[in-house]
Structure 1
Amino acid sequence: MTDADNPHLESAPVTLGPPAPQAGVVVYAVHGRGQSVSFMEDLAQRVALPDVAWVLPAAAGGTWYPEPFLRPVSQNEPRLGQAREAVRQHLAQVRAAAGVVPVVVLGFSQGACLLAEHLLDEQPPVAGAVLHTGGYLGPDEHAWPDREGALRDVPVLMATAQADAWVPMHRVEATARALAGLGARVTLDVYDDEEHHVNDNAVERIRGFLRRLSGGT
C-alpha cells in the first residue's frame, strides 16, 4: 500500500502551539468517530497549557474504521490497517521533529481504541498516553508479548464513564490490565456521566498529566 492508497494520509495533521523542538511536551491527539480535528482543537484550548505542541490528525470522512470496535478485526479492514499506518507514519514524523522533547499520544473514543491497539501491538517509544473512553479492538480479550520492555514505566492515564453507551467497562479494564502487563504505569479514572464526552474533571487530569511530563508544576 502506498500513501496515495491511504485516505487517512491525504491531509497533513494540523499543528497548534509552539514548534515541537521548543515545546515542553508534544501531544499527538486522535479524534473519535464522526468527529474532526476541531474536537481536539477544542480540547487543546480547554487544557490551555502554553508549552504543549499539539499534532492533530484527521480521519478520512471523520471515521478511522467503519464497524464497532468489538467486532472481529477483519470486519474493520482495510480501513483499520490504513489508520494504523497513518498513526505509524505520523508518530515517526512527530518523534523526529520533537527530538528530545517527550511525545504523548492522546485519543478519545474511536481515537482511543485506535491508539490502544497501536500501543499494545507496536509498543512505540512514547513518553506517555492518555486513552479516554476506549480499549483495544476485537471481540476477545487477549494479551500481547512484551517487545523489549518498550512500554515499561510509561505512564498511561485512562478515563471512562462507568456505563458508557459505546465502550463497555470490561474492555477498558482489560486494556488497562494489558498495558500494565507490559510494564506501563496505568491510572484508570472511572466516573458517572451519561454523556459521551471529555468532561471538566478529565480535562483537569489531562492538564496535570501533561504538566508532569513537561516538567511543569
Structure 2
Amino acid sequence: MKTAGIALDKAKKVAIMIHGRGASADSILTLRDHLHIGEFALLAPQAQGNTWYPYSFMAPDASNEPALSNAIKMLDGIVEDLKSKGFKSEQIFFIGFSQGACLSLEYATQNAQKYGGVIAFTGGLIGEKLNKGKYKGDFEGTKVFIGSSHKDMHVPLSRIEESAELIKQMGGELKTLVFKDQNHTIRQEEVDWVNENILK
C-alpha cells in the first residue's frame, strides 16, 4: 500500500486510489497533481503482478476468480480499517482508472452506502453479464462519475450504460461523460467535472 497526502490521523477525507492493469500504485497517485485532493489522505493499494484480475472485466465470471474476490476483500479490509479509525463512509472516496475504475464501481455497488464519491475513469460493473443479485445497499445520493470514449477498446459503452442505470436504481447520483475520441485515457474535461462536482 502506498500512501500520500494528509496523514490519516489529521485527514477529514480519504481517497482510495486504484490503478489499472499493468500500472502501479505510484502511477495512480500522480493524479494528485490534477485532482483537488490536496486535503485528502491518499491510499493506493498495489496489485500483485500489476493486475487485479487476469482477464477482461466482461470475461466469464469464473475465469477471474479467485483474484477478483480477493481484490474486493482487499478493498473491504481498507474500508473497514478506515471505519475503525473513526471515518464515516461519506468521508471515503474511490478513484480508479480502467481496471481500477471497474473495481471501484464493483466494490462500491456491492456495498452501496453514502460515500464521499466514486470516480471511475473508463470503467463499468464487472461480470460476463450483470448479476443484480450481488449488488446491495443504497448509495443515498452518492455522486458517481463514469467517463469514457464511445468506442473504448476495453469498456463497451453498452456496459457503461447498463452500469449507470443500475447505480441510479440503487440511489446513486450518476454522471456519465462519453467522448467521441477512441482514446483509453483520462481527459481534462473529466478532471474538470470531477473537481467541480465531487472534489470541490
> Structures share a fold, TM > 0.5?
yes
Give the conservation status (yes or no) of the 8 Å contact 1:28–1:106: yes
TM-fit CA distance, 1:20: 2.8
User: TM-score normalised to the size of structure 2?
Assistant: 0.90
Distance (whole Å) between structure 2 residues aligned to residue 39 and residue 73 of structure 1:
28
Distance (whole Å) between structure 2 residues aligned to residue 197 and residue 146 of structure 1:
28
Give the conservation status (yes or no) of the 8 Å contact 2:114–2:140: no
Report 1:50-199 matches (<5 A): 50-97=38-85, 99-100=87-88, 102-144=91-133, 147=136, 149-199=137-187
Gaps of 5+ in 2: none
Structure 1 vs Structure 2 CA RMSD: 2.0
Gaps of 5+ in 1: 1-12, 213-217
Identity of aligned residues (%): 26
Distance (whole Å) between structure 1 residues aligned to residue 9 and residue 166 of structure 2:
32
SS in 1 for 2:164: helix
Distance (whole Å) between structure 1 residues aligned to residue 111 and residue 182 of structure 2:
33
After the TM superposition, list the runs of 4 or more consecutive aligned residues in structure 1 that deviate by more than 4 angstroms: 144-147
**Structure 1 stretch 85-94 or stretch 192-201: which is displaced more?**
192-201
2:31 maps to 1:43: yes
**Structure 1 stretch 157-166 or stretch 115-124: which is displaced more?**
115-124
1:31-89 per-position Cα deviation (integer Å, ceiling 9, x unaligned): 11111012212111222542122111110010000011111111101111111111111
SS in 1 for 2:199: helix
Question: May I ask how many residue pairs the two structures share in their alignment?
Answer: 199
User: TM-score normalised to the size of structure 1?
Assistant: 0.83
TM-fit CA distance, 1:142: 4.2
TM-fit CA distance, 1:211: 3.2
Give the conservation status (yes or no) of the 8 Å contact 2:19–2:25: yes
TM-fit CA distance, 1:196: 1.0
Give the conservation status (yes or no) of the 8 Å contact 1:21–1:98: no
Distance (whole Å) between structure 2 residues aligned to residue 160 and residue 97 of structure 1:
35
